[in-house]
């Protein structure tokens, strides 16, 4: 880990370096993905199948997982998993249900009515990766807010897990934990298709996979590139960058906890970033010792070491104020406040995805169970972006009703502005309703 | 205008054709704009100046318009313009203030606190085109919701209007109507810079132009390309496609009004699309006659003719139900309901930017005065996107506080999920807090 003394220069140089790590998609990735997209648009299921065979070694005969299979996956899951998923679902629901928005209507004089209608999207697609990054928690975090938002149909696409047996046809199945979570979260239809071809299928629709209005969920660089290229055809959530944690710790924070929490993000990805801000050199030193002690026992030791070496840092600050200023400049995905009276600092914190307050609110609690969403803005985008939530699955529509009398009252001002902007067909649409002559410009 | 009898085929073929008109940015535009962006990032003001000289023939010595100049522009505006702008401002404010959102906090047993904070963005940039597309109404539509959202600083960039006088140095000034509207809307700082270079300056900041968190506002293909390329570095609003109007009219709707309203959108752009759905051939025929009559008097006759010829249509439908289905498939930017009891159809309308109900609610009323926003989703994106509003200028942040007791209660379920997902550093961050041994996976 880098060791930096904050001096208004060195720490900002480091931040600039960190920011550059979220690299652009390479030209060749974009070309490959554009080819896949075009082929899926043209050939539908056949293209999804042929890319599936190429990349996953197999593709199911039928993409869709039946409702009975979903239920079976849930029924057959271990009791401990079912209990944990149900607990998470309850907490996620309780947190997100407060995000529901209502439309409004304004009634004015002379019969004027203005309003805004809030609607859930018609159909949403959730992409869920397979392999080692198959996270049932992610299914809940995406599907539950969509359900609360009133989305009519939630579709999920996830790559098949392929079982190869000597002398037999390969068997394609979904990851059972993912299917169980989909069942519990109320996903309507699940398709075993992965990669850029699945994203393209969700965007355009094929013979068996319906097109959706928005695609959400994590994925590898091909999935990310496909989402980016198809944005506009469909809506997408953010393109997630590597995970980040920033911890602000005072002298009396426990270095064991700090070390554990830094590593809980570092283990995600060699590109992840874990940073400690503290006013105490002692805390910083002990945290580094603790990392050495604890990481020895962890499975993902190599990833953690690489991530901490490349994008980890301890920054020794001069005051709480300086730490808050730095946190706002970093705009981290996850921010832990290991300080006394952490809630007192919320008003000063402007830019962060999710804030974890105090010594017993470790970030993994939010990943799984407390109920806040774990899909959060990365790479400094917390300056302008929000956690995934009910908002992500609704849209708004405005409406207006005027009467002849009301329009008559406003007509002069509309004509003034239309004339100013040189748009006389705009002016004409008012003029014809009152049999007045159109002023020439 | 195309004449189509709805038969569930011909009308959809036409819609597919229309959809294709929002073309991709060309490769060469992207290359040009990438060069501009890189140069502005590197050289700051000097690059903004040199591209300004090249494209606008001149660039002001000082980019910023002083507060005194803004006030002067407003003071010197005609009374009729000031009155119309003030009227529009009042209505826009009354409509948008209802969109303000509050955060929430949930208190649970054992000291658990979860919440969501809503904040206005720190700094927003509004791009306002110059020349013939300099619309003071657009300044209000962008700046007022940003102000209501609590944005701390609103920056505007707009190209200088250059006066060339024989033998004298060219004089650069802002468009006085734009400056007056900026003053009234409470824009904090205005810079005379245009094109992709102004967008890049807002994204990265230069010596004189501050960097912003989000860039909104219309612009030509270079501005649009710059916004698209810089998305991620900053947030952007939608990339607006050509304008669209869809009118649903019953037999007794007035063809004069229908004709005028179709042309009010057609005049924007040869790529604009104006479509009439009606169950009455008579209404359709009379509308076409009215268009011929009325357009003769309009300044933008050529644009209107081109737009109606290429992307205009009358579609004769068999029922109101069919018209609503088609409207939802089109997801138009503007939808006029020239029918009896128009409000009754709102529940069935799923996809539209803004709905104008009845014979005395022409679309230009919404462009200027009624108070709804005129920045609306185009090209079918109303399936998932919303009108510009207060939402566009806020972001959310979640927070959590757990106690040791509460975390203890949840610990088993967190460990179950972390184990399932193979993330043992996540499990470790819980384990260290309870001095329990980390289970091996």
- Which residues of A form the catalytic set? 333-334
Interface test with A, best of B241, B423, B440 (most A CBs within 10 A): B423
Tell me if A136 and B429 make a contact (CB, 8 A cut-off): no
Residue finishing a domain among A236, A270, A288: A236
Q: What pLDDT score was predicted for residue B439?
A: 60
Tell me if A106 and B88 make a contact (CB, 8 A cut-off): no
Nearest to B106 among A98, A367, A421 (CB): A98
Listed by number, the residues of chain A in 152-211 with a beta carbon closer than 8 Å to a beta carbon of chain B are 177
- Same domain flag for A290 and A416: no
Tell me if B369 and A417 make a contact (CB, 8 A cut-off): yes
SS3 content of chain B, % helix, strand, coil (to 5): 50, 20, 35
pLDDT of residue A439 exceeding 90, the answer is: no
pLDDT of residue A441 exceeding 80, the answer is: no
pLDDT of residue B132 exceeding 80, the answer is: no
Residue A83 host element (H or E): helix A79-96
For chain B, state the CA radius of gyration. Answer: 26
Nearest to A433 among B94, B362, B438 (CB): B362
What is the distance of C-alpha A99 from the center of its chain?
16
Q: Angle at CA B263, nearest 5°, toward B9 and B252? A: 70
Nearest to B213 among A106, A132, A383 (CB): A383
Q: What pLDDT score was predicted for residue B266?
A: 96
Distance from the A167 Cα atom to the nearest Cα atom in chain B, whole angstroms = 31
B410 and A CB contact within 8 Å: yes
Asked, for residue A426, whether it belongs to a domain, the answer is yes
Residue A402 CA to residue A414 CA, distance in Å, equals 14
Those residues whose C-beta lies under 8 Å from the C-beta of residue B158, and which sit 6 or more positions away, are B127, B128, B129, B130, B134, B174, B175, B178, B190, B191, B192, B193, B194
Q: Is B334 a catalytic residue?
A: yes
Q: What are the distances in angstroms from CA B259 to CA A38, B188, B254, B277, B314?
A: 39, 41, 9, 12, 11
Distance from the A116 Cα atom to the nearest Cα atom in chain B, whole angstroms = 9
Asked, for residue B379, whether it belongs to a domain, the answer is no
Quick one: CA dihedral B298, B302, B306, B307, positive or negative?
A: negative
Tell me if A355 and B398 make a contact (CB, 8 A cut-off): yes
Nearest to B172 by CA among B44, B45, B49, B46: B49
- Same domain flag for B262 and B225: no
- Chain segment A269-295, per-residue pLDDT in tens: 999 999 999 999 999 999 999 999 999
Tell me what the pLDDT averaged over chain A comes to: 94
- Same domain flag for B157 and B206: yes
* B156, B191 contact by CB (below 8 A): yes
- Same domain flag for B312 and B203: no
* B12, B329 contact by CB (below 8 A): yes
In chain B, which residue's Cα lies nearest the Cα of A403? B360
CATH number at residue A316: 3.40.50.1980
- Same domain flag for B339 and B267: yes
| Structural domain for A199, as ranges | 27-101+123-236
For the beta carbon of residue A38, count every other beta carbon within 10 angstroms: 12
Tell me if B350 and A119 make a contact (CB, 8 A cut-off): yes
- Chain segment B185-209, per-residue pLDDT in tens: 999 999 999 999 999 999 999 999 9
Q: What are the distances in angstroms from CA B279 to CA B5, B263, B304, B318, B325?
A: 10, 20, 24, 6, 14
Query: Of the residues B11, B267, B268, B334, which is catalytic?
Result: B334
Asked, for residue B440, whether it belongs to a domain, the answer is no
- Chain segment A328-356, per-residue pLDDT in tens: 999 999 999 999 999 999 999 999 999 99
What's the ipTM?
A: 0.96
DSSP 8-class letter at A250: -
Tell me the whole-structure pTM to 2 decimals.
0.95
Tell me if B430 and A402 make a contact (CB, 8 A cut-off): no
- Same domain flag for B223 and B88: yes
Residue labelled with tokens 């209501």? B148
Asked, for residue A259, whether it belongs to a domain, the answer is yes
For the beta carbon of residue B142, count every other beta carbon within 10 angstroms: 29
Quick one: CA dihedral B228, B233, B238, B240, positive or negative?
A: negative
- Same domain flag for B62 and B176: yes
Residue A338 CA to residue A258 CA, distance in Å, equals 8
- Same domain flag for A191 and A282: no
Q: Is A267 helix (H, G, I), strand (E, B) or coil?
A: coil
In chain A, which residue's Cα lies nearest the Cα of B433? A257
- Same domain flag for A268 and A363: yes
Q: Is B385 helix (H, G, I), strand (E, B) or coil?
A: coil
Listed by number, the residues of chain A in 73-132 with a beta carbon closer than 8 Å to a beta carbon of chain B are 80-81, 83-85, 87-88, 94-95, 98-99, 101, 104, 106, 112-114, 116-117, 119, 121-122, 132
Asked, for residue A395, whether it belongs to a domain, the answer is no
The stretch A232-246 carries a mean pLDDT of 89
Asked, for residue A146, whether it belongs to a domain, the answer is yes
Percent of chain A with pLDDT over 70: 98
The dihedral region occupied by B128, where left means phi > 0, alpha psi between -120 and 50, and beta the remainder, is beta
- Same domain flag for B9 and B38: no
Q: What pLDDT score was predicted for residue B441?
A: 43
- Same domain flag for B90 and B76: yes
Q: How confident is the model at residue A86 (pLDDT cuts 50, 70, 90)?
A: very high
SS3 content of chain A, % helix, strand, coil (to 5): 50, 20, 35
Q: What pLDDT score was predicted for residue B87?
A: 98
- Chain segment B69-122, per-residue pLDDT in tens: 999 999 999 999 999 999 999 999 999 999 999 999 999 999 999 999 999 999
Residue B409 CA to residue B110 CA, distance in Å, equals 10
- Same domain flag for B13 and B77: no
Asked, for residue B185, whether it belongs to a domain, the answer is yes
Residue labelled with tokens 């505007």? B156
Tell me if B84 and A417 make a contact (CB, 8 A cut-off): yes
Residue A178 CA to residue A175 CA, distance in Å, equals 5
Asked, for residue A382, whether it belongs to a domain, the answer is no
* B429, A261 contact by CB (below 8 A): yes
Residue A392 CA to residue A121 CA, distance in Å, equals 9
**What is the count of structural domains for chain A?**
3
- Chain segment B251-282, per-residue pLDDT in tens: 999 999 999 999 999 999 999 999 999 999 99
β-pair type (A123-127, A214-216): parallel
């Amino acid at each position: 880990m880098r060791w930096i003394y904050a001096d208004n220069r060195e720490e900002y140089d480091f931040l600039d370096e960190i920011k550059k790590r979220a690299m652009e998609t390479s030209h060749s990735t974009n070309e490959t993905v554009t080819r896949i997209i075009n082929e899926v648009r043209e050939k539908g299921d056949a293209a999804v199948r042929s890319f599936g065979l190429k990349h996953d070694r197999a593709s199911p005969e039928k993409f869709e997982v039946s409702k009975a299979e979903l239920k079976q996956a849930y029924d057959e899951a271990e009791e401990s998993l079912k209990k944990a998923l149900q607990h998470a679902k309850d907490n996620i629901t309780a947190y997100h249900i407060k995000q529901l928005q209502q439309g409004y209507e304004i009634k004015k004089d002379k019969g004027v009515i203005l309003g805004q209608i809030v609607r859930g999207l018609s159909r949403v697609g959730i992409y869920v990766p397979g392999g080692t990054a198959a996270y049932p928690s992610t299914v809940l975090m995406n599907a539950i807010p969509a359900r609360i938002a009133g989305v009519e149909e939630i579709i999920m696409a996830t790559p098949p897990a392929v079982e190869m047996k000597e002398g037999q046809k390969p068997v394609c199945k979904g990851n059972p934990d993912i299917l169980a979570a989909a069942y519990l979260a109320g996903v309507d239809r699940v398709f075993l298709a992965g990669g850029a071809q699945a994203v393209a299928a969700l965007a355009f629709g094929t013979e068996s996979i319906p097109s959706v209005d928005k695609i959400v969920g994590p994925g590898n660089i091909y999935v990310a590139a496909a989402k980016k290229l198809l944005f506009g055809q469909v809506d997408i959530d953010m393109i997630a960058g590597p995970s980040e944690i920033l911890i602000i710790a005072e002298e009396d924070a426990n270095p064991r906890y700090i070390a554990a929490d830094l590593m809980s993000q570092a283990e995600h990805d060699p590109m992840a970033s874990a940073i400690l801000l503290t006013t105490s050199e002692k805390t910083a030193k002990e945290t580094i010792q603790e990392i050495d002690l604890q990481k020895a026992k962890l499975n993902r030791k190599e990833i953690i070491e690489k991530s901490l070496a490349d994008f980890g840092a301890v920054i020794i600050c001069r005051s709480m104020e300086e730490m808050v200023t730095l946190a706002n400049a970093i705009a981290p995905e996850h921010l832990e406040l290991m300080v006394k009276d952490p809630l007192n600092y919320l008003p000063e914190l402007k830019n962060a995805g999710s804030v974890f307050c105090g010594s017993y609110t470790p970030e993994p609690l939010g990943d799984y169970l407390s109920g806040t969403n774990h899909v959060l803005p990365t790479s400094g985008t917390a300056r302008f972006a929000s956690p995934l939530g009910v908002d992500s699955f609704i849209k708004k529509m405005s409406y207006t009703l005027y009467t002849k009398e009301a329009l008559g009252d406003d007509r002069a001002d509309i004509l003034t502005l239309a004339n100013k902007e040189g748009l006389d067909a705009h002016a004409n649409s008012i003029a014809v309703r009152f049999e007045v002559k159109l002023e020439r410009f």
